[in-house]
């Protein structure tokens, strides 16, 4: 009986080792099957991928040139309104900036806040009055409860 159990234990151990080995190899094998030219399911298919390809191409070009360049080369590369040496003007028209959005600037937000600042004390005083009324109600409830407790204590002492 012991030999059957030890043989079964030996077979189960080998099977477990095989499963662990397969589980550690399977993810790496499936990762190699990814096609790099096809966009992923959640990857945008619009012009943002084109801009990303432009950026990647510019970055590869910079790396191929040997990394950092002279200041004159950097200036020449960014002359057409480029953002930086690597990115150049790739995707410049797709980026959000104050000139192509309808969002309020920081200055406008501050101005609105300052215009509404005179209303703040009124809002605060209303909130303070509400809080005071709430506190008074709680105090009355606590006073009634303490009076009841005191009455019970005196009745208990008299009995």
**What is the spatial distance between Cα 50 and Cα 57, in angstroms, rounded to a whole number?**
10
Residue 3 lies in a domain: no
Residue 66 lies in a domain: yes
Residue 34 lies in a domain: no
Residue 81 lies in a domain: yes
Q: What is the DSSP letter of 44?
A: -
pTM: 0.26
Q: What's the domain count of the chain?
A: 2
pLDDT, tens digit (0-9, with 9 covering 90-100), for 94-126 = 777 777 777 787 888 888 888 887 777 777 777
User: Which tokens is 67 given?
Assistant: 């990394």
pLDDT, tens digit (0-9, with 9 covering 90-100), for 10-67 = 999 999 999 988 888 766 655 655 555 555 565 555 556 776 777 788 778 778 877 6
Domain carrying residue 67: 45-103
Q: Is the pLDDT of residue 77 over 80?
A: no
What ranges in the chain are assigned the alpha helix state H?
A: 2-31, 47-64, 71-77, 106-115, 120-158
User: pLDDT band for position 137 (50/70/90)?
Assistant: very high
Residue 30 lies in a domain: no
The reply to whether 49 and 96 lie within a common domain is yes
């Amino acid at each position: 009986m012991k030999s059957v159990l030890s043989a079964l234990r030996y077979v189960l151990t080998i099977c477990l080792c095989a499963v662990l080995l397969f589980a550690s190899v399977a993810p790496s094998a499936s990762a190699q099957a990814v096609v790099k030219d096809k966009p992923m399911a959640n990857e945008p298919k619009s012009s943002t991928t084109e801009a990303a390809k432009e950026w990647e191409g510019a970055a590869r070009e910079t790396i191929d040139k040997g990394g950092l360049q002279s200041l004159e080369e950097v200036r020449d590369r960014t002359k057409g309104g480029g953002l930086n040496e690597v990115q150049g003007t790739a995707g410049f028209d797709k980026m959000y900036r104050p000139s192509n959005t309808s969002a309020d600037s920081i200055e406008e937000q501050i101005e609105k806040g300052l215009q509404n600042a005179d209303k703040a004390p009124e809002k605060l005083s209303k909130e303070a009055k509400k809080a005071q009324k709430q506190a008074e109600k709680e105090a009355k409830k606590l006073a009634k409860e303490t009076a009841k407790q005191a009455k019970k204590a005196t009745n208990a002492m008299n009995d």
